[in-house]
Structure 1
Amino acid sequence: MKHLLKYSAALLLLALLVSGCREEPSYPDEPSITFERVDQYTYTKNRITFDSLVVVVNFQDGDGNLGLRRSPEGEGDPDFQGSFDQSSPYFNNFFVNLQVKRGDTYVPFPFASEFLNLNGRFPRLARDDRHEVLEGEIKYTLTNFSNDIFDPRDTVRFEIFIYDRALNKSNTVYSDDVVLFQGQ
């Protein structure tokens, strides 16, 4: 018993030392994403069927400058000026293009830019402006898919890319097929 306690303490100390020596991964400063999944929630309200879709992508970023605030923190907030001004093409940082399957090919959804803009902002992922490696997942919710706009048998997919605050564009990924209004 005496030897068990003696060696257990040594093993615990060794385990703590080894776990503290984990080397940080090294990623490029440009964000990289991979498609993970689409969670589908179908519901009916006032005889109209709706789909709410949650697109999940994994990300890696070498300098940690992902995300933009959704509302300004006072006058002069850098997330709402210059390149991120509301009139700028970089105001949003999460870009989604909807494609509908027609036969064996995908075509852009008609009227997507006019009536159905799916782009938006995801929040800052680091608490401060330190350069640090980030990896994880982004869950992005898409709503307002209704059976008065889409055919209940439509199969869609999403083309997705993101930008960081240095305006580095990620790679582009495509979601799996989603058959609308089948999530009940």
Structure 2
Amino acid sequence: MKVKSHIFSLVVLLGCFSCVSPPDNFPSVPEISFNNVEYIETNDADSLILTINFRDAEGDLGLNPRDIFPPFHELEYLKDGAGNYITYSNRPPNAPSFNNRDWVIFPLINNVEIKDTLWVRENPDYYNIFIKFFIKRSGEYTEFDWSKPPYYTTFNGRFPRILEEERGRAIEGQIRYAMLSLGWNSIFRTDTIRLDVQIQDRALNRSNMVSTPDFTLSQIRR
């Protein structure tokens, strides 16, 4: 998805990755573990960088820009009972008000431009890395949901294919995943934060979920 809020100059960015030739008994479903989290301030957007270790038996990790066809398409265009696209002018009572996450203006569908505003839903399988944010207060964790107002965005994203060939091969390595924003300090300040992360292979197998230790931005500033 495109960046949805003026607070963010860029939603996601892949740092780097690596792979080696591990034993043949690696898990078929991707397996990950926490490695590191760090915060880098610049004169532009600041970076919250999460590094995870991964292992996978088939090596079918990563999506390239050309991976946009089902099941990796970005959006689902919602239709009414008659099979027509739901437009903003004819939206049902349960439809959300206009925002840049739920509505798309003049979309291109099957190479045809639809000159209207359509109700859409993100396809979760468009992404292959999934990030959740939690704030800890009085010992309790509460999810910070970026999809809600006023942000209407996500920090889920894509990392590129680690192996270009389709032949299965066991791999392991690290993914360094950078999330860039102008708003980290203004949103979280001195809050205690935790991130949960999963990845997904091209067979749509989701890995185990791992969590970072609790941290504040000042504690992980580099």
The TM-score, its normalising length taken from structure 1, stands at 0.74
Q: How many residues align?
A: 150
- Aligned with 2:213: secondary structure? coil
> 2:53 and 2:22 mapped to 1: Cα distance?
21
CA 44–153 in structure 1, closer or farther in 2 if over 3 Å, else same: farther
> 1:143 and 1:177 mapped to 2: Cα distance?
20
Give, in angstroms, the shift of residue 29 of structure 1: 1.2
Assess if the C-alpha contact under 8 Å between 2:22 and 2:171 holds in 1.
no
The TM-score, its normalising length taken from structure 2, stands at 0.62
**Higher share of residues assigned helix:** 1
Give, in angstroms, the shift of residue 181 of structure 1: 4.3
In angstroms, what is the RMSD of aligned CA positions? Answer: 2.0
Q: How does 1:32-71 map to 2 (within 5 A)?
A: 32-43=31-42, 51-69=46-64, 71=65
> 1:95 and 1:23 mapped to 2: Cα distance?
25
Give, in angstroms, the shift of residue 180 of structure 1: 2.0
Cα shift readout 1:81-138 (whole Å, capped 9, x = no counterpart): 11100122100000000111112121101x4223241100011011211100010000
Aligned partner of 1:175 among 208, 212, 221: 212
Other-structure match for 1:166:
203
Greater CA radius of gyration, 1 or 2?
Answer: 1
CA 108–27 in structure 1, closer or farther in 2 if over 3 Å, else same: same
Give, in angstroms, the shift of residue 51 of structure 1: 4.1
Other-structure match for 2:157:
120
> 1:90 and 1:157 mapped to 2: Cα distance?
24
Q: How does 1:1-184 map to 2 (within 5 A)?
A: 24-43=23-42, 51-69=46-64, 71-72=65-66, 79-87=67-75, 88-109=123-144, 111-114=145-148, 115=151, 116-144=153-181, 145-150=183-188, 152-182=189-219, 183=221
Alignment gaps of 5+ in structure 2? 1-20, 76-122
Alignment gaps of 5+ in structure 1? 1-21, 73-78
Of structures 1 and 2, the one scoring higher in RCO (CA 8 A, sep 6+) is: 2
CA 24–43 in structure 1, closer or farther in 2 if over 3 Å, else same: same
Other-structure match for 1:16:
none
Residue identity over aligned pairs, in percent, reads: 36
- Aligned with 1:90: secondary structure? helix
Assess if the C-alpha contact under 8 Å between 2:22 and 2:170 holds in 1.
no
Write the letter of the residue equivalent to 1:85.
H
CA 39–129 in structure 1, closer or farther in 2 if over 3 Å, else same: same
Other-structure match for 1:13:
none
Assess if the C-alpha contact under 8 Å between 1:51 and 1:180 holds in 2.
no
Assess if the C-alpha contact under 8 Å between 1:98 and 1:157 holds in 2.
yes
